[in-house]
Amino acid sequence: MDFQNLLEHHQKLLSYMESNGYSELYISRFRDEIGWILRNAETKQWASYTDIYLEYTHVSHSKDYLRNKRTIIGAIEQFDFYGNYPNGRRRHTLFSRGAYHLLVPEFQELIDFYCEAEKRRGKKDTTIYSESHHAASFLLALQKDGADSLEKVTEEQVISFFVSKEGALIKSCSYKKDIAAVFKAGLAWNKNECGRILCFLPALREIRKNIQYLTVEEISRIRAALDDCGNGLTLRDRAIGMLLMYTGLRSCDVARMTLDAVDWENDRIYIHQQKTETPLELPLSAMAGNAIYDYLSSERPDSCENHLFLSLTRPFTPLDSGSIGNITGKIMKEAGIRQSPGMRKGTHIFRHHVASTLLGNGIPQPVISRTLGHTAPDSLEPYLRADFIHLKECALDISGFPVAGEVFGNG
């Protein structure tokens, strides 16, 4: 393995870390690791950065020590091979993730065939990833149970993946659908075996959870918390809360918003949705617009980063979906609502609020679907169950039916 590039350019990495506020201790760990690699490169004859990490596993070390080594060596690999600087979130690639790389060749071939076939059909990359990931986990479980080829897979093994010995459901109906999608595509690759395993997949009932919708009182308290400049919410938190409240955007799309996503002259928001991979245009309300402006003018760090919402501390990295979810938790806490265990307080509850409010105001369903960025006509169905205003209109009069008095009694 050639380390000439690292030898010539590693000082750029260290200088970047110094100028972006990394601690001297952390920088010294990188400096020491790079020095150790360069000093031993010729004698060790490493073939990859994974080999470098494995040197440390030959001696007894704590899990924390090895985790830190993986992080540092992985970051050096990213810089050496791809010119990527640390950003606080980029994962190392020392080891493959997921179940795929643990599968026998036949199972890997099935996954590969599915991915190629569905890409040609135009299926979304995110869907392909989800379905192939679940199928790989399914195949790995079969493999560990002794079925190292499709021919050896039994119905009992398939059923046990979804249902425990006690009869409890282990995997959901949607999980089964993802696995079925891979084997349906695989019919063109191995019709007999894929068709046989498809017949083994159990018939599971799709379960939809009741959504803990926001009540009128909760909405009022959230708005009060977002307007209260004396509480613990930052201007960034308020801007994100206003966006969620008035647009219903997904957390991933809020996290990916860039500075040019807001058209101030025309009061519009333009994004490219991560989930559906389609563009979305929304009106920019005065409440959300003012909150974003306050954040940009008074709190956002002076950074060349193009993402709208950044961390509050150096190196000022873009937020991810998890960070947006944490912020909604802070908003709920400041509002004094949903603090009991199990109470739903994620970002999707705001999306549900926007949908149910529009439904309650008589907005046509196609308009609501476009506002939420839905691409499938049935995506709005889960929200219909909380449209209590119109559901009450469907109630049947039972006055013509005999009903025992105790049904309506207080006892």
Residues 157 and 282 both lie in one domain: no
In a domain, 409, yes or no: no
Residues 64 and 107 both lie in one domain: no
Written as one string, the DSSP assignment of 339-388 is -STT---STHHHHHHHHHHHHHTT--HHHHHHHHT--SGGGGHHHHTT-H
pLDDT of residue 410: 58
pLDDT of residue 406: 67
Residues 247 and 326 both lie in one domain: yes
Residue 389: pLDDT above 90? no
In a domain, 337, yes or no: yes
Lowest mean pLDDT among 19-23, 47-51, 228-232, 318-322: 47-51
Residues 223 and 359 both lie in one domain: yes
What is the β-pairing status of strands 268-272 and 279-283?
antiparallel
What gap in Å lies between CA 298 and CA 184, rounded to an integer? 54
- Residue 282 sits at φ, ψ, to 5 deg, of -135, 150
In this structure, what DSSP letter does residue 209 have?
Answer: P
Residues 380-408 have a mean pLDDT of: 63
Residue 387: pLDDT above 60? no
Lowest mean pLDDT among 29-43, 265-279, 379-393: 379-393
The helix (H) or strand (E) run that includes residue 31 is helix 24-44
Of 22, 54, 82, at which residue does a domain stop?
82
pLDDT of residue 112: 96
Residue 376: pLDDT above 90? no
Instruction: Please indicate, yes or no, whether the overall pTM of this predicted structure exceeds 0.85.
Output: no
Q: State CA 352 to chain mean position distance.
A: 18
pLDDT of residue 246: 94
In a domain, 206, yes or no: no
Query: How does pLDDT run across 153-209, given as a tens digit for each residue?
Result: 999 999 999 999 898 889 989 899 999 999 999 999 999 999 999 999 999 887 666
Output the average pLDDT for the chain. 88
In a domain, 210, yes or no: no
| pLDDT band at residue 369 using 50, 70 and 90 as cut-offs | confident
- Rounded to a whole number of angstroms, the distance between the first and last alpha carbons of the chain is 81
Lowest mean pLDDT among 11-15, 231-235, 279-283, 370-374: 370-374
pLDDT of residue 278: 86
Query: How does pLDDT run across 78-99, given as a tens digit for each residue?
Result: 999 989 998 766 666 676 667 8
Residues 321 and 232 both lie in one domain: yes
- Residues serving a catalytic function are 250, 275, 348, 351, 374, 383
**Amino acid identity, position 49:** Y
Of 13, 48, 82, at which residue does a domain stop?
82
Residues 248 and 359 both lie in one domain: yes
Residues 14-23 have a mean pLDDT of: 92
CB neighbourhood size of 144 (10 A): 11
Residues 280 and 352 both lie in one domain: yes
In a domain, 282, yes or no: yes
In a domain, 374, yes or no: yes
pLDDT of residue 90: 61
Higher pLDDT pick, 367 / 288: 288
Residues 53 and 129 both lie in one domain: no
Residues 229 and 302 both lie in one domain: yes
Query: How does pLDDT run across 136-145, given as a tens digit for each residue?
Result: 999 999 999 9
pLDDT of residue 343: 85
Higher pLDDT pick, 362 / 38: 38
Residue 376 CB burial class (10 angstroms; 0-12, 13-18, ≥19): exposed
Residue 221: pLDDT above 70? yes
Higher pLDDT pick, 382 / 315: 315
Query: How does pLDDT run across 316-364, given as a tens digit for each residue?
Result: 999 998 899 999 999 999 999 999 887 888 898 899 889 888 877 888 8
Residues 277-303 have a mean pLDDT of: 94
Residues 370 and 245 both lie in one domain: yes
Q: How many domains does the chain have?
A: 3
pLDDT of residue 223: 96
Of 200, 224, 239, at which residue does a domain stop?
200
Residues 178 and 254 both lie in one domain: no
CB neighbourhood size of 335 (10 A): 23
Domain span holding position 168: 100-200
Could you tell me what percent of the chain has a pLDDT over 70?
89
Lowest mean pLDDT among 37-46, 57-66, 112-121: 57-66
pLDDT of residue 198: 97
In a domain, 397, yes or no: no
Residues 146 and 225 both lie in one domain: no
Residue 286: pLDDT above 80? yes
Out of 18-22, 148-152, 163-167, give the one with best mean pLDDT: 148-152
CATH of the domain at 251: 1.10.443.10
